[in-house]
């Protein structure tokens, strides 16, 4: 089967640094982070005091009061981002509904709903558990609700591979469209996992930053980094086959050209110290795209701000790009958004698309003194204006899941 070209024609973003594509892009260019003290729950007994969130997000703009009561916040992020991305376009006036899919992700789904309903059961008994508990909690409901909203009846798949979830979702959607199984696909990821239970769990395993200074909390590749900062939000990316996108005069933002996925097969949380599987995910994506290592201008790194992961990712980039690694422009936008878990890959893919489309490289904010083992160029603190042509975005998740996406500027 002939491989078709696949383009990005719409984005929707909900994040701590912007709830529209324009505000998100402006924050990326200006190095604005959304990290702040946790004020919506009691963290007095925890070492973790900050998170990356925006409670100015108003889901009532997208849902009725009844719908709000029946949907978890992660689904509210997903549906609102999808509505923004499609912006009233009548997609099904052009495509058959069975030729448009939804491949979406969430790493942990409705954990806030689960926590709330468990408390209700303990306090009031089993009959107090909401009849909407299950559909609010299950992580596939974001994909389901988006299809109900849009009428897209093609492949409807929910992917959960921890922090690599939405990069895998986007990669699988790309393959479906490229290989002719779908003509278009709405993809991405959503997460709203900042709760007492999850913060306690990540904190107890020493994965989260213990800094009380929001400006020094999510600092990938910095010597003082102490862990990641939890974030929330969503990104939606609409993919279409190029010729059909041109026929409907869609606004083409960038082209997806490659996808690579591997597994460390090593440990439940730690990346393999040899970094070979991570490097292979990059090389597979480049091979899939038919791109030489010297053609890549920019890397949107996974860059979690954890001790082991940042070092391992740097090693993977050196393995993949060899002597070209020192010429790469690398940044971690998690320094601004925090780590959005299952939504991270999609949000970072959106940042990469904007970088290609608008001619800039986002910075790694808060980077003061690089770890000696993180010795590449991570675009510290200030964005760079540059007409980049080719970029990759990588995501690595608990369980050893690795995914890399390759994009190029559409000309």
Q: pLDDT tens digits, residue range 3-43? A: 999 999 999 999 999 999 999 999 999 999 999 999 999 99
Q: For the residues 80-109, what does the mean pLDDT come to? A: 97
Asked if the model's pLDDT at residue 262 lies above 70, the reply is yes
Bridge-based pairing of strands 298-300 and 390-397 is: parallel
Q: For 344, which DSSP code?
A: H
- Which of 33, 75, 168, 339 is an active site residue? 339
Q: Could you tell me what percent of the chain has a pLDDT over 70?
A: 100
Please say if 163 is a catalytic residue. Answer: yes
Position 56 scores a pLDDT of: 83
Question: How many C-beta atoms surround the C-beta of residue 268 within 10 A?
Answer: 8
H or E stretch at 394:
strand 390-397
Q: What is the mean pLDDT of residues 352-356?
A: 98
Outline which parts of the chain fall under CATH 3.40.47.10. 7-247, 258-408
Residue 1: pLDDT band with limits 50, 70, 90: low
Q: What is the pLDDT of residue 248?
A: 95
**What does the pLDDT look like over 165-212, one tens digit per residue?**
999 999 999 999 999 999 999 999 999 999 999 999 999 999 999 999
Using the Cα atoms of residue 96, residue 98, residue 99 and residue 102 in order, give the sign of their dihedral. Answer: positive
Q: Does position 399 have pLDDT exceeding 90, yes or no?
A: yes
pLDDT at 55 over 90: no
* Mean pLDDT, all residues of the chain: 97
3-state percent breakdown (helix, strand, coil) of the chain, nearest 5 = 40, 20, 40
CATH number of 7-247: 3.40.47.10
Is pLDDT of 339 > 80? yes
203-252 residue pLDDT tens: 999 999 999 999 999 999 999 999 999 999 999 999 999 999 999 999 99
| Mean pLDDT on 383-399 | 98
Q: Does 326 score more than 70 pLDDT?
A: yes
- Among residues 33, 168, 302, 401, which one is catalytic? 302
| pTM (predicted TM-score) | 0.97
Number of Cα atoms under 13 Å in the Cβ half of residue 51? 28
Judge whether 267 counts as a catalytic residue: no
Q: Quick one: pLDDT band at residue 93, thresholds 50, 70, 90?
A: very high
In the CATH hierarchy, which top-level class contains the domain 258-408? alpha beta
- Closest Cα partner for 80 from 167, 137, 17, 21? 21
Residue 400 is predicted with a pLDDT of: 98
**pLDDT value of residue 157:** 98
| Whole-number Å distance between alpha carbons of 75 and 142 | 5
pLDDT(352) > 90 = yes
CA distance 249 to 263: 39
**What are the residues whose beta carbons fall under 8 Å from the beta carbon of 204, sequence distance 6 or more?**
none
Q: Which of 75, 163, 390, 406 is catalytic?
A: 163
């Amino acid at each position: 089967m002939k491989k078709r070209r696949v383009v990005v024609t719409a984005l929707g973003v909900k994040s701590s640094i912007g709830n529209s594509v324009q505000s998100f892009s402006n924050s990326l260019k200006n190095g604005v982070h959304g990290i702040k003290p946790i004020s919506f729950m009691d963290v007095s007994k925890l070492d973790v005091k900050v998170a990356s969130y925006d409670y100015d997000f108003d889901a009532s703009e997208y849902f009725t009061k009844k719908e709000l009561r029946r949907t978890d916040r992660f689904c509210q992020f997903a549906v609102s981002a999808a509505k923004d991305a499609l912006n009233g376009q009548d997609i099904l006036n052009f495509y058959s509904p069975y030729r448009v899919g939804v491949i979406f992700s969430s790493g942990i789904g409705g954990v806030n709903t689960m926590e709330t309903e468990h408390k209700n059961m303990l306090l009031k008994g089993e009959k107090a558990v909401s009849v909407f508990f299950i559909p609010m909690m299950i992580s596939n409901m974001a994909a389901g609700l988006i299809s109900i909203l849009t009428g897209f009846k093609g492949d409807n798949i929910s992917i959960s591979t921890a922090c690599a979830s939405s990069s895998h979702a986007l990669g699988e959607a790309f393959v479906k469209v490229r290989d002719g199984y779908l003509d278009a696909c709405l993809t991405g990821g959503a997460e709203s996992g900042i709760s007492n239970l999850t913060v306690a769990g990540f904190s107890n395993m020493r994965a989260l930053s213990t800094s009380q200074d929001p400006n020094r909390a999510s600092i990938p590749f910095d010597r003082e980094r102490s862990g990641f900062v939890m974030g929330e939000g969503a990104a939606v990316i609409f993919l279409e086959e190029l010729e059909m996108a041109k026929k409907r005069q869609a606004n083409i933002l960038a082209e997806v050209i490659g996808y690579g996925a591997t597994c460390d097969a090593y440990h439940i949380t730690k990346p393999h110290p040899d970094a070979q599987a991570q490097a292979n995910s990059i090389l597979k994506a480049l091979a899939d795209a038919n791109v030489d290592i010297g053609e890549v201008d920019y890397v949107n790194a996974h860059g979690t701000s954890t001790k082991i992961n940042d070092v391992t990712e740097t090693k993977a980039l050196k393995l993949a790009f060899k002597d070209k690694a020192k010429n790469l422009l690398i940044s971690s936008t998690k320094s601004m958004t925090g780590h959005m878990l299952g939504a991270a890959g999609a949000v970072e893919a959106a940042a990469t698309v904007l970088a290609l489309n608008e001619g800039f490289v986002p910075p790694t904010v808060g980077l003061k003194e690089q770890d000696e083992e993180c010795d590449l160029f991570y675009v510290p603190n200030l964005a760079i204006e540059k007409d980049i042509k080719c970029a990759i975005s990588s995501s690595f998740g608990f369980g050893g899941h690795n995914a890399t996406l390759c994009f190029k500027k559409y000309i």
